[in-house]
Every structure is written in C-alpha cells, then in structure tokens.
Amino acid sequence: MRFNLPAALLATTMLCLPATAHAQAMTAEEAADLRAELAALKAQVNTLEARLDAAEAKPAPAPAPVPPTAAPAPSVTAKPATEIAWKGAPEIKTADGWSFKPRGRMQLDVTSIDTPPGVTDARGGVGTEFRRLFLGVEGKIPGGFGYRVEADFANSSVELTDVYMTYGTGPLTITAGHHKPFWSLDELTSDLFTTLLERAAFTQAFGFERRVGLSAQYKGKALLVQGGVFGDNANDLISDTNNAVSFDGRVIWMPKFGDTQLHLGGSGHWRNINDAPAVRYSPRPFIHTTNARLVDTGTFNATSERGLGLEAAALAGPFHVAGEAFWQTARRPGLADPTFFGGYAEVGYVLTRGDARVYKDGAFDRLAPSRPINAGGPGAIEINARYDYLDLNDAGIVGGRQRTIGVSLVWAPISYVRLIANYGRLTFDDAAIGTPTGDRDYSADAFGLRTQIDF
C-alpha cells in the first residue's frame, strides 16, 4: 500500500506546531509565514514524489549476460609416453620408438628309442632332457634399429643363439651378428612351431646352425630374397684356426590365392673351409636324447662344400602340405666329390574348428587356438605325418641311408603352451653302427613327448 505523502507531511507539521498556535488566533503575518512554509514543504514533497515515481517506472537493469559455456573440446586421449602390452611377457614401448621385451622358452623332452641289441649306448633307452632353455631380450631403437640377445642354458652349459642387431625402415632389413643363414623352410621355422620334436634329418646332418655374419633381406608382397656372408658358429670361432667363410642365399615366391597360401623357393650354399679342411655329416635318429649316430660319414678331408635346396608348401584352411629336397656336395682334392641328399614330404591337418597353421615371412608360425582352454575351449589340436629320407652314400663314402615315417599329435591349450607327442619308425641301410652279428640293415622305433612354454 502507498501513502499520500503530502497529507501525511501536512498532518505531521500541524501536530508539531506550538500549542500556542491553537490557543489563540494567528496574526496575518504569521498566517502568511505559515502558508509560505507549507508551500515550500509541498514543493519538496512533490519533488520527492516525482523522483520516487521515476524510480518505480524505470525497469530494473538486466543482469549482466553470462557468457555461454564453451562447448567441451572433443576428448582426445594423448598417446602415453610408455605403453605396456602382453605377448607372453610384458613388452614395453615408448612413443619415440623404443621397445623392450624379455623372451625365452623351455622345452622338456621325454624320449625313447628301441634298436636291435648292441646298437645304441646307455642313452639309447628312455631319456629325459631340457632340450632347450632360452633366455634373452629383444627390442627396437629409434631410427629403424632392432636387437636380440639370447642364450641357451640347457644341460648345464651356455650356448649363444640369436645375438644380433638389425636395421630397416622399409622392405629391406640388414642383420649383423649371430643368426641363421638362409637354409631350408624346416630350418628357418622356429623350433617352437615345428610339427615334430626334431627337424628333418638333412638339416641336422649338413650342419645347419647359427653363424656369425652379415646379411640382408628384401620382403615384398609375394617375394622374399635373403642373402649373406657368414663365418662359423660362435662357439667354434674360439679356435684360432677356424676362419671358414660361406655365402648363403634364398629366394621365396609366396603368393596368396584367396584363402590358399603358396610357398615355392630355393636356396644356395657355398662354404670355404680354409684352415680346417674336414667335414662330417651325421644326424641323430629322430630324437635328441641318444648320442648314437646310426648314419654317419665320419670325418673326411674336404676344402669346401656347396648345397642346393628346393622348397614347396601350401596352406588352405586347416590343411597344409610341405616338402623339401637338399643336395650337399663336398669337394675333396684329388678324389671324387660326394653328393649327399636329404628331403621330406609332410601333410598336416588342424582338427579344432576355426584353427589353422600359420605362415609368415617364408616360414611356418605359431598355432594359436581361437578357443583356448582359459576361454572354455579345447585349445588347438593338430595331427601330422611325415616321410623323411637321408642318403649319405656316394663316391666311396658309405655313411648309410635312413628312412623315417613319423606321425605327431600337437596340442596348444593356449598360444604360448604346447605339447607334442610323436612316433617314428626308422629303417637303416648300411648303418654306421652294426649289430653284434654285423648286421647293418635294421629298423628302430622312437617315441618322444615334449612339454613346451615360451614367452
């Protein structure tokens, strides 16, 4: 409610007049003064009312506008300085190109070989061994460099395996150090992924092993070219007289037609033995726990050797086939040069649904189950059969012939654990070790079981 301000002020003024003003009549002069005062007071009241009306009519100032909240920027997760992934072991990577990963493998074998009495030594029965116990590290360095350092600690000894550096920023890679020369599909497939406990007999007989060298590899979409110059195995190079040198190369055509992967190629090897002109070709019989070499050329003089290999394989879904042939010739001054031969043919099938053997960069790779046991599946199960042949008889050297029919069952419950059971029926002609009655043509049975883990 709003009061009439002039009336209120007038009433207040009248109350405030001296009491005598009510007691007697005012003179004309007093009345004139009173009227003047009342007029002045009324003018002041009118001024106050005008100001009050103006204040009430003026709209309240709008509040200062609040700047709109800026739309949140899209969430962008910055690449962390360090990433840690898991590939059987932690792999550490940095944004600027460094990486580091420990690596290793353990293979525990239980094997046996049954030969005619008197052929094998005390280790010819059931044997147990740590076939391999690798420990090492690998990684990358900014600028296209990489490295791997690894050693085998099995059987109370230490032997260098892969010890090398690499450089490559495109399809060409240079490798320097202790690594495998370029021989054979079976040899260049890691022992983690082979179908049997041991590789083909010719890869053992002809001394396929890691050597110190410098090599290059070109990898295109369907072409792989590898080559290098090598000395000898790091342990053998301890000898001052060992200055052997070899040149090794391999060419692979690896096209893919739909779901079918093909592998066709060949390899060449030439080695100058130099100051230690002697060679020996002698594999173990299907298993590694026995010392017996049932086919063996013995040591003979040779100044050089040359090898030629052919390779073929195909993978289609769960099915694969593979085969190789290799000829090794040793040069003997003043004598005929013997040429020895080895080869194999293999077929395999992965029984578990959705699984298949893997091919990568000119070799077979890991059998990884699509339904591992930790996800409620059966893992991956593979069966394989192989016929293996080795002939070490030629040019007057009688090292013997070995034929093997082998079968295997492979179970990978998870990607980094593998169990292999294999059986081999071996037949020998002109064996290096005869029976007590002098018979050098006989048969043997071998069995092996491997438990394997890698990271």
Confidence of residue 46 (pLDDT cuts 50, 70, 90): confident
What mean pLDDT is predicted for residues 264-292? 94
Percent pLDDT > 70 in the chain is: 86
What mean pLDDT is predicted for residues 20-32? 60
- Helix axes 28-57 and 5-16, enclosed angle (nearest 10): 150
Domains of the chain: 110-130+183-454 (2.40.160.10)
User: Does the pLDDT at position 74 exceed 80?
Assistant: no
Residue type, 115: T
User: Does the pLDDT at position 356 exceed 50?
Assistant: yes
User: Does the pLDDT at position 9 exceed 70?
Assistant: no
pLDDT greater at residue 32 or residue 20: 32
CA atoms 193, 199, 200, 204: torsion sign: positive
Confidence of residue 5 (pLDDT cuts 50, 70, 90): very low
For residues 47 and 42, what is the distance between their CA atoms, to the nearest angstrom? Answer: 9
> In 3D, which of 367, 376, 383, 371 has the Cα closest to residue 416?
367
User: Does the pLDDT at position 69 exceed 70?
Assistant: no
User: Does the pLDDT at position 401 exceed 60?
Assistant: yes
Residue type, 184: S
Q: pLDDT tens, 312-330? A: 999 999 999 999 999 999 9
> In 3D, which of 281, 285, 283 has the Cα closest to residue 119?
285
Please state, rounded to an integer, the average pLDDT across all residues of the chain.
89
Q: pLDDT tens, 177-186? A: 999 999 999 9
Q: pLDDT tens, 208-240? A: 999 999 999 999 999 999 999 999 999 888 877
Q: Is 394 helix (H, G, I), strand (E, B) or coil?
A: strand
Cβ atoms within 10 Å of 17's Cβ, excluding its own: 11
Q: Is 94 helix (H, G, I), strand (E, B) or coil?
A: strand
pLDDT at res. 291: 87
User: Does the pLDDT at position 344 exceed 70?
Assistant: yes
User: Does the pLDDT at position 394 exceed 70?
Assistant: yes
Contact by Cβ (8 Å): 13, 38: yes
Measured at the alpha carbon of residue 180, what is the angle toward residues 174 and 185, in degrees to the nearest 5?
105
For residues 416 and 438, what is the distance between their CA atoms, to the nearest angstrom? Answer: 47
Distance of alpha carbon 397 from the chain centroid = 44
Lowest mean pLDDT among 45-54, 163-172, 262-271: 45-54
What mean pLDDT is predicted for residues 91-114? 96
What mean pLDDT is predicted for residues 129-137? 97
Confidence of residue 260 (pLDDT cuts 50, 70, 90): very high
pLDDT at res. 44: 75
Confidence of residue 418 (pLDDT cuts 50, 70, 90): very high
pLDDT at res. 64: 58
Structure tokens at 413: 């419950």
For residues 350 and 320, what is the distance between their CA atoms, to the nearest angstrom? Answer: 9
What mean pLDDT is predicted for residues 242-265? 96
Structure tokens at 312: 């073929």
Query: What does the buried/exposed string (b/e) look like for 178-193 if buried means 16 or more CB atoms within 10 Å of the residue's CB?
Result: bbbbbbbbbbbbebbb
Contact by Cβ (8 Å): 445, 114: yes
- Residue 385: exposed, middle, or buried by beta-carbon count in 10 A (0-12, 13-18, 19+)? middle
